[in-house]
Amino acid sequence: GAVVSQHPSWVICKSGTSVKIECRSLDFQATTMFWYRQFPKQSLMLMATSNEGSKATYEQGVEKDKFLINHASLTLSTLTVTSAHPEDSSFYICSAGPRLDEKLFFGSGTQLSVL
Amino acid sequence: QKEVEQNSGPLSVPEGAIASLNCTYSDRGSQSFFWYRQYSGKSPELIMSIYSNGDKEDGRFTAQLNKASQYVSLLIRDSQPSDSATYLCAVGFGNEKLTFGTGTRLTIIP
């Protein structure tokens, strides 16, 4: 099946620093990728839709200047958490699929801890 | 706005019994339906997809789709402790992104 690779798996950073998370589709091209955040024991929350070659679409309440998304190629999207604070500590997951309305494959997730 | 509803649970089922998970959706024109399993601290993994009315079986899993009633269900036969997880229902329509339910937490009791 299709594979989506996400790196890093976990990251610890100091408050005020920026963290970049990469999401790659390994065996298909993805014009669209999705970024989610999940707090412990809570539901998956869609943060934004990453569109290759154009601006990302952010869900209501998600700060686009804090969560920078770049989708520069058909196989790579990055999420940068800028000026991270402890409240940004969460599990971040990306997903992608060969078609928009078809099955999605998820990356393994990134556990971010901000000290 | 398209909605996908799931009972959040927790749903507790004895080991060896059948676990039944249900999902309803609001958009009658929805065309693709998926079940994902998510273990605590891990990302979701796809376990079943279904596109036509009726049943689709894969090992111990059976997905059931009823478009007229706008529901899709997942049955897990011979439930095992390793089936304890959160199960997410996702629905697709046309050229739009999938809509996910909030998930049902399933616990299999040994």
Predicted confidence (pLDDT) per residue in A67-108, tens digit: 999 998 999 999 999 999 999 999 999 999 887 767 889 999
Using CA of residue A105, residue A106, residue A107, residue A108, what is the dihedral sign? Answer: negative
Distance CA(A69)–CA(A51), nearest Å, equals 9
Residue B34 amino acid letter: F
Over residues A3-20, the pLDDT tens digits come to 999 999 999 999 999 999
Strands A67-73 vs A76-81: parallel, antiparallel or unpaired: antiparallel
CB contact at 8 A, B79 and B17: yes
The answer, yes or no, to whether residue B94 has pLDDT greater than 80, is no
Largest CA distance in chain B: 43
Of A46, A100, A106, the CB nearest to B44: A106
Query: Is 70 exceeded by the pLDDT of residue B42?
Result: yes
SS3 B82: helix
* pLDDT computed for residue A1 by the predictor: 62
Q: What is the pLDDT of residue B9?
A: 86
Q: What is the pLDDT of residues A25-58, one digit of tens each?
A: 999 999 899 999 999 888 889 999 998 888 999 9
- B2 pLDDT exceeds 80? no
Residue A44 and residue B34: Cβ atoms within 8 Å?
Answer: no
Question: pLDDT category, B80, cuts 50, 70, 90?
Answer: very high
Q: Do B94 and A101 touch (CB under 8 A)?
A: yes
Question: How many interchain CB pairs under 8 A, A with B?
Answer: 50
Minimum CA–CA partner of A32 in chain B: B97
Residues with Cβ within 8 Å of A39's Cβ and at least 6 positions away in sequence, in order, are A90, A91
